[in-house]
Amino acid sequence: MNVKISPSILGADFGNLESQIREVEACNVEMLHIDVMDGNFVPNIAFGPDQVKMLRKVSDLPFDVHLMINNPDLLIPRFAEAGSDIIVVHQEATVHLHRTLKLIQSFGIKAGVSLTPATSIETLRYVLDEVDMILLMTVNPGYGGQSFIPKSLDKIRDLSEMTKGLDIDIQVDGGINLETAPKVVEAGANVLVAGSFTFKGDVSENIRMLRESVKI
């Protein structure tokens, strides 16, 4: 399987963000994961559209923008115009999910949807035609550096079964490291978000080991 790596810059040293981005670029990662938090849907605050716009000037990597915000429809246009390549909204933060996914696609970019650990994959069954990527949170969203929730493996397997034959990426986010990466890939995930694992210590060695752990 072709596994993609999306380092989460939430785990980076914000005082040296540009050089940290250069380090992951040099490892040929497939995308860059940008966590957006509103202090409401999640108990933390991170990144707005202006910051995404600034990062766009720094990097040509595909931007995978994870919106952990309520009422995402209000800000989707600004995140799209800021240079996002894929925008991921939370099912739990969206009342009219189908409409929201269509709104994202209307900007000519990819649409994704995320589920927190407690939300069933059944909530996505009837929007699969509108989805390019499904992000299964493997921790409760809000902070980097948390431990992977083991029950997530069953959920990844079930989602993999539900999306069989469809062109939908399965992304995982939270607690991904050398121990959990092979397990999630074996269960069916093909896009790995890694924040603290990527940026703690030697970035290029970390990415090399992560790729090695999933034999890509």
Q: Which is nearer to ligand DX5, 13 or 161 (CB)?
A: 13
- Binding mask 62-81 vs Zn ion (x if CB under 5 A, - otherwise)? ----x---------------
Task: Write down the catalytic residue from 38, 64, 169, 173.
Answer: 173
Q: Which is nearer to ligand DX5, 71 or 146 (CB)?
A: 146
Q: Can you tell me the distance from the alpha carbon of 75 to that of 178, in angstroms, rounded to the nearest whole number?
A: 35
Considering CB distances under 5 to 8 angstroms, the limit depending on partner class, which of Zn ion, ligand DX5, none binds residue 171? Answer: none
Q: Does residue 35 interact with Zn ion by CB under 5 A?
A: yes
Distance of closest approach, residue 129 Cβ to ligand DX5, in angstroms: 26
- Binding mask 78-117 vs Zn ion (x if CB under 5 A, - otherwise)? ----------------------------------------
Considering CB distances under 5 to 8 angstroms, the limit depending on partner class, which of ligand DX5, Zn ion, none binds residue 163? Answer: none
The CA radius of gyration of the chain, in Å to the nearest whole number, is 16
Q: Which is nearer to ligand DX5, 116 or 129 (CB)?
A: 116
Degrees, nearest 5: CA angle 124-190-111: 45
Q: Can you tell me the distance from the alpha carbon of 210 to that of 216, in angstroms, rounded to the nearest whole number?
A: 9
Q: Which is nearer to Zn ion, 66 or 155 (CB)?
A: 66
Pairing relationship of beta strands 45-46 and 32-38 according to DSSP bridges = antiparallel
Distance of closest approach, residue 137 Cβ to ligand DX5, in angstroms: 7
Taking every pair of Cα atoms in the chain, the longest distance, rounded to a whole number of angstroms, is: 43
Active-site residue, 73 included:
no
Give me the count of residues in the chain.
216
Q: Tell me the H-state helices in 40-138.
A: 49-58, 76-81, 97-105
Q: Does residue 38 interact with Zn ion by CB under 5 A?
A: no
Q: Can you tell me the distance from the alpha carbon of 211 to that of 76, in angstroms, rounded to the nearest whole number?
A: 32
What are the Cα distances from residue 177, in Å, to 47, 53, 118, 149? 24, 29, 22, 13
Active-site residue, 154 included:
no
Element (H, E) at 185: helix 180-187
Would you tell me which residues interact with ligand DX5 (CB under 6 A)? 8, 10-11, 33, 35, 66, 139, 141-146, 173-176, 193-197
Residue numbers annotated as active site: 35, 173
- List interacting residues with Zn ion (CB under 5 A): 35, 66, 173
